[in-house]
Every structure is written in C-alpha cells, then in structure tokens.
C-alpha cells in the first residue's frame, strides 16, 4: 500500500499554506503537480490521474496543467519518474555484482511492495496506443534509467571487470527485460529471490566458468 512520505506531506502543507498569498514560482507549482500526480498514480492507478483531480490536490489550475502537459498520461509518466528516482538510485560500490543485485532488488521491491506494479503495467499498456505517452515514457523514464545502468556497466568495463567486447545494452536487456517480461507478458509471480540468478546469468552466462567471478 502506498504511504505518503514526509517530504510529500511537507509539500502538501506548504502548498496549502501558500494558497491565497499570490502566485507561486513555476518550479514550485510544477513540483507540487508532479508530487500530486505521483501520489494519485501509485495509490489509485493511471485512470485516476486526471487534470481535474491533480489540479485540485496540487492547488494548481487546470490551465497550467494543459499548458505543460498534452495529456494526463504524459503527466503520469513524468510523475512516475519523479516518484521512482529516489527509490531506484543506482549504487556504485566497486562491486559490480553487488551493485546490480542491489539495484534489481530495489526495482522488484518498488514494484511488489511499494505500489508501482499496477501503474507501471498501466502506463506501458496505454503507451502502446498513445504515441505521446509512449514518447514521454521513453524520454522521461525508460531511456534515463537505461543510461544509469549503462554508466555503471561502463565503469566495470573500464576497470576490466567485463570482457572488452561485452555488449552493455544486451546486459541491460537481459536483466531488466527479464523482469518486465514476467510482469507484462507471462504475468507470473516473481520476487527478489530471482535477482541473484538473473545477475549471475547476465554476467557469467550459461557455459561452465573456468575462472573466478568478475
């Protein structure tokens, strides 16, 4: 079940306090709108993210929302990225295997325990029929997240912890793609117990290992 964080409560309180005191800075309004949309998305799903409801919860106007986002779906995609950013920070400890396991475990927890599984499925499903949402999902979430993973793998490559011909994009596909496949295509249960096996398969393959782990 989704629970509002302390920062979200603070934003809500500050928004309420500022009403009636004149126009708020655009950056503050945008942050409040994204926070409100993110709360609604994780709590009630994509269909609940409407300009009417978000504007009311953020203390903003619908006109402002229409000016900044072409549709509620596009707003929801950007709000999802803002909500997920802290939960999905990518660790860099020097131990590639441990960092990948930590990141994938965080992603599975985000889906399964922190309320993101339903809205993620809804966003990706809706994006197949809505080009503007598809672009927003790709640009606001999928590609930035992919680049974070590639950056971590690139560090390992430069340190000699991966083969020189290692395809970083393929490794990312193997790891996160396997989870999305189970979530969206197979629709089978999974939890954090699958993570170590995914990482070891991506790093070491299916052939017998003749040397130690990277």
Tell me: the pLDDT tens digits for 43-53? 999 999 999 99
135 vs 17: which has the higher pLDDT:
135
The answer to whether residues 116 and 84 touch, using CB atoms and an 8 Å cutoff, is yes
Nearest to 58 by CA among 35, 74, 76, 26: 35
pLDDT in tens, 194-212: 999 999 999 998 877 665 5
- What is the pLDDT, as a whole number, of residue 212? 55
- What is the pLDDT, as a whole number, of residue 211? 59
**Is the Cα torsion angle 29, 26, 143, 77 positive or negative in sign?**
positive
> Which residues, at least 6 apart from 39, have a Cβ–Cβ distance to it below 8 Å?
2, 4, 8, 57
DSSP per position, 180-193 = HIIIIII-----GG
Nearest to 90 by CA among 154, 151, 139: 151
pLDDT in tens, 36-90: 999 999 999 999 999 999 999 999 999 999 999 999 999 999 999 999 988 898 8
- What is the pLDDT, as a whole number, of residue 206? 82
pLDDT band, very low/low/confident/very high, at 185 (cuts 50, 70, 90): very high
The answer to whether residues 99 and 193 touch, using CB atoms and an 8 Å cutoff, is no
> Which residues, at least 6 apart from 108, have a Cβ–Cβ distance to it below 8 Å?
179, 190, 191, 192, 194, 195
C-alpha 156: how far from chain center: 23
What b-and-e string marks burial along 10-32, b requiring 16 or more CB atoms within 10 Å of the CB? ebbeebeeeeeeeebeeeebbbb
Q: How far apart are CA 85 and CA 97, in angstroms?
A: 21
Q: How far apart are CA 101 and CA 179, in angstroms?
A: 13
Mean pLDDT, residues 133-138 taken together: 94
Q: How far apart are CA 158 and CA 155, in angstroms?
A: 5
Q: Is the pLDDT of residue 119 over 70?
A: yes
Q: What is the mean pLDDT of the chain?
A: 89
- What is the pLDDT, as a whole number, of residue 103? 95
Q: Is the pLDDT of residue 104 over 90?
A: yes
Two tokens, residue 73: 């779906």
94 vs 14: which has the higher pLDDT:
94
pLDDT band, very low/low/confident/very high, at 2 (cuts 50, 70, 90): low
Q: How far apart are CA 76 and CA 149, in angstroms?
A: 23
Provide the percentage of residues in the chain whose pLDDT is more than 70.
Answer: 87
pLDDT band, very low/low/confident/very high, at 7 (cuts 50, 70, 90): very low
Mean pLDDT, residues 147-175 taken together: 95
Mean pLDDT, residues 181-198 taken together: 96
């Amino acid at each position: 079940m989704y629970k509002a964080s302390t920062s979200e409560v603070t934003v809500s309180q500050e928004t309420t306090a500022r009403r009636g005191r004149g126009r708020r800075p655009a950056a503050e309004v945008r942050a409040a709108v994204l926070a409100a949309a993110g709360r609604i998305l994780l709590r009630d799903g994509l269909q609940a993210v409407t300009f009417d409801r978000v504007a009311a919860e953020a203390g903003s106007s619908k006109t402002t929302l229409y000016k900044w986002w072409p549709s509620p779906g596009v707003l929801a995609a950007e709000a999802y990225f803002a909500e997920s950013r802290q939960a999905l920070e990518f660790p860099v400890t020097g131990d590639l295997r441990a960092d990948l396991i930590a990141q994938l475990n965080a992603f599975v927890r985000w889906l399964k325990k922190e309320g993101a599984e339903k809205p993620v499925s809804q966003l990706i499903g809706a994006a197949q029929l809505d080009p503007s949402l598809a672009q927003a999902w790709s640009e606001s979430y999928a590609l930035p997240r992919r680049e974070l993973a590639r950056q971590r793998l690139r560090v390992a490559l430069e340190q000699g912890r991966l083969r020189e011909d290692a395809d970083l994009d393929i490794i990312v596909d193997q790891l996160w793609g396997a989870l999305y496949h189970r979530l969206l295509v197979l629709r089978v249960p999974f939890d954090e117990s699958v993570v170590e096996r995914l990482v070891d398969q991506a790093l070491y393959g299916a052939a017998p290992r003749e040397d130690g782990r990277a």
